[in-house]
Amino acid sequence: MVKRGVKMVTTKSKELFEKAVELMPGGVNSPVRAFGPVGGQPVFIDSAKGQYITDVDGNKYIDYIGSWGPMILGHNDERVVEAITKQIEKGISYGAATQLEVEMAQLMCDIVPALEMVRMVNSGTEAVMSAIRTARGFTGKNKFIKFEGNYHGHSDALLVKAGSGVMTAGIPDSSGVPANCVKDTLTAVYNDIESVRKLFEENKNEIACVIVEPVAANMGVVLPKEDFIKGLRQLCDENNALLIFDEVITGFRLGLTGASGYFDIKPDLITYGKIIGGGMPVGAYGGRKDVMQVVSPVGSVYQAGTLSGNPVAMAAGITQLKILRSCPEVYEKTFALGERLRSGAKNIIEKAGRSYKVTGVGSLACIFFTDKDVVDYTSAKTSDTQAFAKYFNYMLSNGNYFGPSQFESIFVSAAHTESDIDKTLADIENYFK
């Protein structure tokens, strides 16, 4: 029989949630924070430091979300906090050009070979929306290809068979999105290069770009098959289409140069978020200079943002990126801890006689509650979400904070220790006994 977790006191969280549902849809400001899929109510976080978060009732957790990826150094890294504090003392927002924007752009272009020019925005959603508009403006074509289970933010045209929250909710699309908004959105099968080739053949000279999560991290963590990414690059070249990497999650996490460097593939455009803001709201898109020069005010593709390049976000992001560039041990440590977690979980699950699949790369991991090899959206959806919910609640009650959905990634930070990983593995082992 599966053990029950430790009984936690969550009185204040329950009271806050009761109030929240009267004021905000579902009591949250992002569906991913809701605990509906795991049969409970969210705990409300009061503070965070290093690898830990503490809720309003005083319960402390090893955090494997890290604000959904930005906290690769851990929460409240003193160097990042200092940079934020110094900038706040100078000014929070100007609505004007700043030296920090130039420094951030230079830093990103120096680090990532595929970046020749960048534009700062305010979120990953905005980055993707703008990158696709840029691709359309550059090519003069309207259609684009995305993949089932890949999540690219919540703009209308991208909410077609998207990942994470949409998968959890069990709905392929969103209401409120007119059919005309998605008529040019073509959906292919992740890891199936022939499905992409077929769409190019059926829509000759009409496809502006292909956008992909090089590592699909919004339907769990699904790795690309050998030559899949390379095949996308080749098909785009053959059809005069642009290749866009959505690296909102993998950017500066899958190594300093992200997925483009990890897989040694040069996309035409890359979208960013999360890590480049050090925890502040931020996004960016960039790539080939000739492509980016179609963006206003130089070109005819309009894109603007009142708070784009916000000086506080830039100060945080610049500091974090400089640390990552100067400290390769961050990646050595996070990759080693990620492998420790994945291999340990795999061994425990095998010893327990289960066939659940453990996936991941670098500092990303996922346990799929299915006996099927997970290679795409369809196989990911074979996961037993009720079994995951029981596991999630047990792990939470024992002080391990994971995303409340089968289809979210586990994020390891440089603040985690081997002892943290071993404690979590011990809890996983106890669960499966």
Domain parsing of the chain, residue ranges: 11-64+329-432, 78-326
Distance CA 188, CA 169 (A): 21
Q: Which of 52, 61, 64, 151 is catalytic?
A: 151
| Cβ-based neighbours of 357, under 8 Å, separated by 6 or more | 367, 368, 370, 371, 372, 373, 374
Q: How far is CA 260 from the centre of its chain?
A: 15
**pLDDT tens-digit profile, the chain (433 residues):** 345 566 789 999 999 999 999 999 999 999 889 998 899 899 999 999 999 999 999 999 999 999 999 999 999 999 999 999 999 999 999 999 999 999 999 999 999 999 999 999 999 999 999 999 999 999 999 999 999 999 898 777 777 655 444 433 333 466 777 777 778 999 999 999 999 999 999 999 999 999 999 999 999 999 999 899 999 999 999 999 999 999 999 999 999 999 999 999 999 999 999 999 999 999 999 999 999 999 999 999 999 999 999 999 999 999 999 999 999 999 999 999 999 999 999 999 999 999 999 999 999 999 999 999 999 999 999 999 999 999 999 999 999 999 999 999 999 999 999 999 999 999 999 999 9
Terminal C-alpha separation, the chain: 8
Give the count of alpha carbons within 13 A of 303, CB side only.
26
CA pseudo-torsion sign 183, 184, 189, 194: positive
Q: How many CA atoms lie within 13 A of 150 on its CB side?
A: 31
Residue 157 has what pLDDT?
74
Query: Can you state the angle between helices 311-326 and 329-351, rounded to 10 degrees?
Result: 80
pLDDT at residue number 172: 41
Q: Which residue has the tokens 């073509």?
A: 186
Look at residues 219, 242, 158 and name the one whose alpha carbon lies nearest to residue 380.
Answer: 219
- Among 196, 252, 199, 257, smallest CA distance to 227 is for 196
| Six-digit token string for 86 | 């110094």
From the list 55, 246, 268, 376, the catalytic residue is 246
- 146 catalytic, yes or no? no
272 is catalytic: no
The DSSP output letter for 38 is G
Q: Which one from 141, 146, 274, 357 is the annotated catalytic residue? A: 274
Give the class (CATH, top level) of 11-64+329-432: alpha beta
Tell me the fold of 78-326: Aspartate Aminotransferase; domain 2 (3.40.640)
What is the Cα–Cα distance from 8 to 55, expressed in whole angstroms?
11
Dihedral, CA of residue 323, residue 332, residue 391 and residue 171, to nearest 10: 60
| Pair 266, 116: CB distance under 8 Å | no
pTM: 0.94
Based on the number of CB atoms within 10 Å of its own CB, is 311 exposed (0-12), middle (13-18) or buried (19 or more)?
A: buried
User: Annotated catalytic, 151?
Assistant: yes
